[in-house]
Amino acid sequence: MIRLTVDPLDPDPGLVNEAAVALLAGGLVAFPTETVYGLGAHALDPHAVRRIYHAKGRPSFNPVIVHIATPAAAQALVTAWPVAAERLARAFWPGPLTLVLPRAPAVPSEVTAGLDAVGIRIPAHPVALALLRAAAVPVAAPSANRYTELSPTTADHVRHSLGDAVDVLLDGGPTTVGIESTVVDLTSGHPVLLRPGMISAGALSAVLGEPVLRAAHEPESDAPRRSPGQVERHYAPRAELAMLGAGEIAELHHAPDRVGLILRTATVHVPGAAAIRLPDDPHGFAHGLYAALHTLDEAGCTRILVEELPRDPAWDAIRDRLERASR
Ligand code: TXA
Ligand code: MG
C-alpha cells in the first residue's frame, strides 16, 4: 500500500494525481469524504468494482455508492432526474446525502448489485473532490472497512481494517461528519429514507415539501436489497455494545469485566472501566463516535456501554447506528 498524506483543505495536486492515476488503472484508492473514508474504484470498470467486494469481503448483493464532482456528472449516471432530485441536490450537494435513482446503462451492474437503481452523491470533502476532478470518472466507493466492521474515520482505521488490499491510501486526517451519508430513494413517487444520516428526514421534508417515510426493515435474504445499511448487525465494534441510562451507569460501582464507557452527560467514575466522553450535541457526538468505538475495541474492551441518547430527532441517525451495533 502506498500512503499519501495530504492537507485536508488544500491537497497537493501531484499526490492527488498519483491517486487518480491508480484509480484509472483499475486500482483501489481509499480517500477521505466528510462522512467516513471510502474505498474507491473506477465506477465504469466492472473489474475494478469487483475488487472492492473482494477487498471488503462484502457479499455481492450490496450495491455501492457512486461519487461524482458535479450535478452534470450525476445526471449522466441516471435515466430520470425528478424535481425532488433537483431540489435535494441544490440544497445539500456537495454534502452527506446519497440519492437513489434509476440507473443509466453506462453504470455496470457490479456497482448496483444487479438493481435497476444507483446511489449517487457529491461529497463535501476537498480531498474527495480533488480526486474526483483529477480522475474525471465516477468513483464507486463504499466505506473503507471490511464487511460488517465499523466505518473508518481516520486513515489508520483504513490501514488496520484493509491493509494491503488498498493500493493507495490518501490520508487527509480525520473526517468531519463521522457517520455515513443519509440515503434517500427517489425511484418511486414518494421519497423513502433508506438510511438515516446527519441530514435528517425533517430537513429533507422541509426542502421537498412532503414527508419522507422511513423504509420498512427487510427480512434477511440473498436477494439484492434496497439498503445494505439494513443488514442486521452492521456498523459494529467487536465488543458487545449496550445503551444504558446515566443513572444505571452511575450504579456500576466497579467494572465487572473489560468495560468501556462512552459518556455524554454522566460524570460517574467506574473503577476499572475505560471512559471516553463525547460532546453532548449530535454533531460533536457523531464526529467522535466511531473513533471512540475503535479506541475501546483496540483497548481490548469486551463490553461497551453507551450513555442513552436524547429522544430529539437530531440524534436519530446516531441512535440508528448504535441500535444496529448493539444487536
Ligand atoms: O457516507 C457514505 O455514504 C460513505 C462514503 C464513503 O460516501 N459510503 C458508504 O457506503 O457508507 P456503504 O457501501 O458502506 O453503504 C452503502 C449504502 C447502503 O446502506 C445503501 O442504503 C445505499 O448505500 N445504496 C447504494 N446504492 C444503492 C442502490 N442502488 N439502491 C439502494 N441503496 C443503495
Ligand atoms: Mg459501510
Would the CB of 225 count as within 6 Å of ligand 1? no
Alpha-carbon Rg for the chain, nearest whole angstrom, is: 19
36 lines ligand 1 (CB under 6 A): yes
Instruction: Label residue 192 by pLDDT band (50, 70, 90).
Output: very high
**Model's pTM, two decimal places?**
0.94
54-61 mean pLDDT: 90
Q: Is 228 in the pocket of ligand 1 (CB under 6 A)?
A: yes
pLDDT value, residue 148? 81
Residue 313 carries which DSSP code? G
Query: Which ligand has its closest atom nearest to the C-alpha of 39?
Result: 1
pLDDT, tens only, 21-37: 999 999 999 999 999 99
Contacts for 59 with CB less than 8 Å, ≥ 6 apart: 53, 147, 222
Mutate to test the pocket of ligand 1, among 62, 132, 180 (most ligand atoms within 8 A of CB): 180
State which H helix or E strand residue 319 sits in: helix 316-325
**Going by CA atoms, what residue is nearest to atom 29 of ligand 1?**
118
Start-to-end C-alpha separation, the chain: 34
Lowest mean pLDDT among 30-39, 132-141, 241-250, 300-309: 241-250
User: How many whole angstroms from 151 Cα to the centroid of ligand 2?
Assistant: 6
Cβ–ligand 1 contact at 175 (below 6 Å): no
The answer to whether the beta carbons of residues 99 and 207 sit under 8 Å apart is no
Letter string b/e over residues 120-155, b meaning 16 or more CB atoms within 10 A of that residue's CB: bbbbbbbbbbbbbebbebbbbbbbbbbbebbbbbbb
Decide: helix, strand or coil at residue 6. Answer: coil
- How much distance in Å is there from the Cα of 235 to the middle of ligand 2? 7
Q: What's the pLDDT at 307?
A: 96
**281 touches 265 (CB < 8 A):** no
Look-up: residue for cell 461519487? Answer: 67
